[in-house]
Structures are given as structure tokens and as C-alpha cells.
């Protein structure tokens, strides 16, 4: 397959609040080796896509404060490949920015948008599905997303319902998007057979996503219109800073995907996990005889099983009598919580920020 018109935009500006206290504003989880593989999540993600598109067609969209660390972790990156956002505005403005920027480089580009912190166990299957999605998106009037075949009623993911009666090859027209459901609704989704997990991986032709912004989020598209001769020049930074100052905070799902009529999903199975929570880390981490995922050189466990224990290299941590718990010890924060309550970590993080300021963020 000719990949000269294919590009990748890796979104790497998040702070991983559900992964607190290990993930911090100064060093979010995309820069961490959370699975103990010797590579950080952003390094693994970059290498995955370098097998699909030319390396100079990979762009990293991240916050200005992370540009230096990004270059340190990915030293082969050229400066133009690091797209620095002046502020956090969620995935809607992020996609608009990179879409207009790529359109100025190659108006016939088809590009992948993917988070920087996902786990993909079956790289060959992933590459195969991505190629199918790229071919479809490049040649059809379609906005494509990858949907993951669910194997449990998970409340931590969004869901995509597709129309089984309207296949287009292996892809299907999307009927509905649903935000993270409660457990009862998640069970209904799983039993129905026509719901998939929302992977947050999108594929589209640059002109079709720009058209979608003009139709469904005109207030965003108007901020980036007129930048064709500004993008990829010295004037880009000031132009984008002004645009972001006026952009509202909105996800690409709310801005575009839930409103567009030409959205298609490719049901996929390639060992995907968004590594967004401590349970997802526990599921994918190596474990000891008692099913504990442990990081730390001096950790001793007694009567403890099915738990996550993370400790600094130079600290002795002893845990006794826990089952199904998460224990994360950092230099300045100790978190102990039940894994089944992991969705509360984001709220705990917000509460700490509210009562203690940014000291522990």
C-alpha cells in the first residue's frame, strides 16, 4: 500500500489523572514505563506507528511544557514533528489544529489520530486493521473509528453502537455513541452484541474532517480557517495561541462524532487496553504467584493477593493482609485504595487539588 499520503497524529498532552499519584503534571503517564518494559508509553506508541507510515509523517501533539521531554524521549524527532498546544482544550481543538496544519502540508492527506498511552498486544493485527481503515477513509466519504470487541461490562470506557444491517465491507455505520455507562447498562451493552468499546483511535481524510468541523463545530473551524499560509511558518505559534484562547474545551466525540452522519466503525480485536486505570495496569502487568503486580526493589508482601503495589526503588514497603487493593507510594504521596473503586481516583485527585493546591499534582 502506498503510504505517501498517510500521516499519524499522536495525542500526548494529557496528564493521566486516573493514574495519579504516579502520573503528575510534570511527568504524565505517557512519559512513564508503567509496565516495566524498558520503554515509556510514548516510545512504544511511536515505534508502533513508525511501522505504518514514514517516520517524518508522525506528529506528536502535546503541551508546550512537554516539548523538551518529548525530544529527549524521541531523539529522532525533527522539530516540526512536535506540535505544541498553548493550552489544554481537550481533543476537539487538538484534532482541528493538526487537521488544518496537515491540510496546509498535503491537502490529500489521510491521517490517524491516536492517544499516546494505549497498550496494543497484537501489533500485526493492529497494523492490519489500521491499513483497512486508512484505505476506507482515503477513498470514501467517511469518518472512521476503531471499535474494540468487549469481553466484559466495563464502566471505564465509552461505547459505540453500530448498525449490523449496514455493513460496508468490514466496516459498519455507527448508530450511537454512549459515554461511560453504569454497570447495569454496560451489561446490557455487552449482551446486545452490537456495542463496541470506543478506542479513541480515529482515521479520516483531512478534507472530510475539516468539512465536518465546518458543519458541526463552526465556532472551532472559524478559528483555524485562514491559516493555510500561516501554518508551518514562524507565524504559526502566535496564530494558534490566539485560536486556543478562544476555543472551548470539548472532545472530538462531542464536537463531531456524535453529530456526523458519515461515521463508520471497524470492529477490532488486537489486545487493546487504554491503560487508564490501576486495574488496567494490574491486568497487563507481570504478576507474582499470588497475582500481585509489583514495582519496586524492596517490596515485601504478606497475605496479599490480586493487588498492585508500586514503590520507589530506594524505599522499603511492606504490605500485609490486602486483597484487591492498589498501593502506590511516591516521594510525597501514598495512595491506598480498593481496585474496584479505581474510578474514584480522578475525583480524589480533584479533591486534593482543591484542598491542597498544586503541591501534590
- Specify whether 171 is located in the same domain as 309: no
Query: Cell 500526548 sits at which residue?
Result: 12
Q: Are residues 260 and 297 in the same domain?
A: no
1 located within any domain: no
236 and 334 inside one domain? no
User: Residue 361 domain-assigned?
Assistant: no
- Which CATH number goes with the domain that contains 27? 3.90.550.10
Q: Which of 187, 159, 175, 149 minimizes the C-alpha distance to 266?
A: 149
Q: Within this chain, do residues 139 and 238 fall inside the same structural domain, yes or no? A: yes
Among residues 216, 238, 273, the one where a domain terminates is 273
Within 8 A by CB and 6+ apart from 278, the residues are: 19, 308, 326, 328, 337, 339, 342, 345
Place of cell 489544554: 88
Are both 300 and 262 inside the same structural domain? no
- 214 and 297: one domain? no
Task: Kindly state the cell numbers that stand for 221.
Answer: 473551524
Is 223 found in the same domain as 167? yes
Q: Does residue 224 belong to any structural domain of this protein?
A: yes
Range of the domain at 200: 6-273
What pTM did the predictor assign? Answer: 0.90
Does the residue 157 lie in any domain?
yes
Q: Are residues 153 and 36 in the same domain?
A: yes
Q: Is residue 54 domain-resident? A: yes
- Cβ neighbours for 259, distance < 8 A, ≥ 6 positions apart: 216
Q: Are 49 and 28 in contact, with CB atoms under 8 Å apart?
A: no
183 in a domain, yes or no? Answer: yes
> Does residue 199 sit in the same domain as residue 287?
no
In a domain, 61, yes or no: yes
Strand-pair partners of 276: none
For residue 195, what are the β-bridge partners? 161
Domain boundary among 212, 242, 273: 273
The domain boundary, picked from 252, 273, 294, lies at 273
Give me the torsion for CA of 101, 104, 106, 109, rounded to 10°. Answer: 40
Determine, yes or no, domain membership for 25.
yes
Q: SS3 for 44?
A: helix
188 in the same domain as 146: yes
Domains of the chain: total: 2
Q: What is the pLDDT along the chain (361 residues), one digit of tens a residue?
A: 678 999 999 999 887 777 888 888 888 889 988 888 889 999 999 999 999 999 999 999 999 899 999 999 999 999 999 999 999 899 999 999 999 999 999 999 999 999 998 889 999 999 999 999 999 999 999 999 999 998 888 888 889 999 987 778 899 999 999 888 888 898 988 888 889 999 999 999 999 999 999 999 999 999 999 888 899 999 999 999 999 999 999 999 999 999 999 999 999 999 888 877 788 888 888 899 999 999 889 999 999 999 999 998 889 999 999 999 999 998 888 999 999 887 788 888 889 888 988 888 7
Shared-domain flag, residues 44 and 70: yes
Amino acid at each position: 500500500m502506498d503510504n505517501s499520503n498517510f500521516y499519524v497524529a499522536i495525542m500526548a498532552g494529557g496528564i493521566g489523572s486516573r493514574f495519579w499519584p504516579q502520573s503528575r503534571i510534570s511527568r504524565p503517564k505517557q512519559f512513564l514505563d508503567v509496565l516495566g518494559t524498558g520503554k515509556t508509553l510514548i516510545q512504544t506508541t511511536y515505534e508502533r506507528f513508525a511501522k505504518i507510515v514514514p517516520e517524518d509523517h508522525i506528529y506528536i501533539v502535546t503541551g508546550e511544557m512537554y516539548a523538551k521531554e518529548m525530544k529527549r524521549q524521541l531523539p529522532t524527532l525533527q522539530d516540526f514533528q512536535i506540535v505544541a498546544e498553548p493550552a489544554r482544550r481537550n481533543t476537539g481543538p487538538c484534532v482541528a489544529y493538526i487537521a488544518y496544519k496537515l491540510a496546509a502540508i498535503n491537502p490529500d492527506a489521510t491521517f490517524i489520530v491516536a492517544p499516546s498511552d494505549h497498550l496494543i498486544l497484537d501489533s500485526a493485527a493492529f497494523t492490519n486493521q489500521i491499513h483497512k481503515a486508512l484505505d476506507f477513509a482515503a477513498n470514501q466519504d467517511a469518518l472512521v473509528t476503531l471499535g474494540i470487541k468487549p469481553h466484559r461490562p466495563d464502566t471505564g470506557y465509552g461505547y459505540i453502537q453500530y448498525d449490523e444491517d449496514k455493513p460496508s465491507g468490514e466496516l459498519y455505520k455507527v448508530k450511537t455513541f454512549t459515554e461511560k455507562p453504569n454497570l447495569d447498562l454496560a451489561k446490557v451493552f455487552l449482551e446486545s452484541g452490537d456495542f463496541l468499546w470506543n478506542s479513541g483511535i480515529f482515521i479520516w481524510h483531512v478534507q472530510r474532517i475539516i468539512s465536518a468541523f465546518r458543519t458541526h463545530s463552526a465556532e472551532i473551524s472559524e478559528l483555524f480557517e485562514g491559516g493555510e499560509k500561516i501554518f508551518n511558518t514562524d507565524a504559526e505559534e502566535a496564530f494558534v495561541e490566539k485560536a486556543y484562547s478562544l476555543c472551548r474545551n470539548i472532545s472530538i466525540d462531542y464536537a463531531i462524532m456524535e453529530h456526523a452522519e458519515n461515521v463508520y466503525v471497524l470492529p477490532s480485536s488486537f489486545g487493546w487496553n487504554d491503560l487508564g486505570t490501576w486495574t488496567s495496569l494490574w491486568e497487563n502487568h507481570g504478576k507474582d504467584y499470588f497475582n500481585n503486580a509489583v514495582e519496586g526493589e524492596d517490596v515485601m508482601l504478606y497475605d496479599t493477593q490480586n493487588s498492585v503495589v508500586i514503590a520507589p526503588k530506594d524505599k522499603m514497603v511492606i504490605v500485609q493482609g490486602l486483597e484487591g487493593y492498589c498501593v502506590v507510594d511516591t516521594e510525597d504521596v501514598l495512595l491506598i485504595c480498593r481496585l474496584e473503586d479505581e474510578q474514584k481516583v480522578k475525583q480524589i485527585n480533584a479533591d486534593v487539588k482543591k484542598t491542597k493546591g498544586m503541591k501534590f499534582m
